[in-house]
């Protein structure tokens, strides 16, 4: 009887702890997922550092949820991506626009792929730009963006490829091709130095981090 009572007390304490954690207020960084009014359309757009929460917010969730649920990545390709250990040393930088149809289509698909391979979103930084392809702090100037979305893949500090506007085949197949290129043509990659600000899925930013990127191989249109 004593052991049963002890079990009930332990169960109660654990349940209360889990409940308290689930109901902790979410920390929101005011510098992430900012909105401004587009001068021409007079519609709100996301600007600067963003994350999935911004894309799932009231104004933008209509395209996010529809694309995320509808997209079905190729199973064989996804299996090969999961088995490639280099993926988990890859840092992703995305320059997109919430007003851009290609961004509205490709970003939910990218998140679905990354969810299925258990990629850590803390290793991805997203910048939303205005119609001049700019952010208020000019963080994206270093990437020399001409089209959005541009998805940039870095492996251990070096750029290994980009998917620009739309994938050549599909996001998952292009991603696999970029991962497989790491060992094939390292001599063709040119080093550059960039500085960027990281953000996380918890809406937190860290101090600027200097990384060394490489350009030259990857998927481009």
Q: Does 18 reside within a domain? A: no
Q: Which helix (H) or strand (E) holds 162?
A: strand 158-164
> Where are the extended beta strands (E) located within 82-139?
90-96, 124-128
Per residue in 106-123, pLDDT (tens digit) is: 999 999 999 999 999 999
Q: Which residue range forms the structural domain that includes residue 152?
A: 26-215
Q: How many domains does the chain have?
A: 1
Mean pLDDT of the chain: 81
In a domain, residue 2? The reply is no
On the question of a cis peptide bond just before residue 201, with omega within 30 degrees of 0, the verdict is no
The answer to whether position 133 is within a domain reads: yes
Would 165 be classed as within a structural domain? yes
What does the DSSP assignment read for 91-104? EEEEEE-TT-HHHH
Q: Global pTM?
A: 0.74
CATH number at residue 86: 3.40.30.10
Domain annotation covers residue 20: no
Range 125-140 average pLDDT: 97
Cα-trace Rg, the chain: 20
Give domain status of residue 187, yes or no: yes
**92 located within any domain:** yes
pLDDT, position 10: 47
Tokens found for residue 82: 């999961």
Question: Which of 105, 145, 110 is closest to 124 using CA atoms?
Answer: 110
Under 8 Å between Cβ of 128 and 96: yes
Q: How confident is the model at residue 59 (pLDDT cuts 50, 70, 90)?
A: confident
**Is residue 184 very low, low, confident or very high in pLDDT (cuts 50, 70, 90)?**
confident
**How many residues does the structure list for the chain?**
221
User: What per-residue confidence (pLDDT) applies to 39?
Assistant: 87
Q: Express each pLDDT in 161-179 by its tens digit.
A: 999 999 999 999 999 999 9
């Amino acid at each position: 009887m004593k052991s049963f009572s002890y079990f009930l007390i332990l169960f109660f304490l654990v349940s209360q702890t889990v409940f308290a954690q689930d109901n902790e207020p979410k920390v929101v960084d005011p510098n992430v997922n900012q909105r401004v009014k587009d001068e021409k359309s007079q519609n709100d757009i996301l600007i600067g550092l963003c994350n999935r929460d911004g894309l799932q917010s009231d104004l933008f969730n209509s395209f996010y949820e529809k694309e995320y649920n509808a997209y079905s990545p190729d199973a064989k390709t996804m299996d090969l991506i999961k088995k490639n250990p280099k993926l988990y040393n890859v840092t992703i930088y995305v320059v997109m626009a919430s007003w851009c149809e290609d961004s509205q289509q490709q970003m939910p698909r990218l998140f679905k792929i990354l969810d299925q391979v258990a990629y850590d979103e803390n290793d991805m930084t997203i910048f939303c730009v205005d119609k001049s392809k700019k952010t208020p702090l000019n963080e994206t100037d270093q990437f020399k963006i001409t089209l959005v979305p541009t998805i940039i893949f870095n492996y251990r500090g070096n750029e290994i490829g980009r998917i620009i506007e739309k994938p050549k085949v599909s996001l998952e197949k292009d991603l696999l091709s970029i991962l497989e290129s790491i060992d094939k043509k390292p001599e063709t990659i040119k080093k550059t130095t960039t500085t960027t600000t990281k953000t996380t899925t918890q809406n937190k930013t860290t101090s600027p981090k200097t990384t060394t990127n490489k350009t030259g191989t990857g998927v481009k249109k």
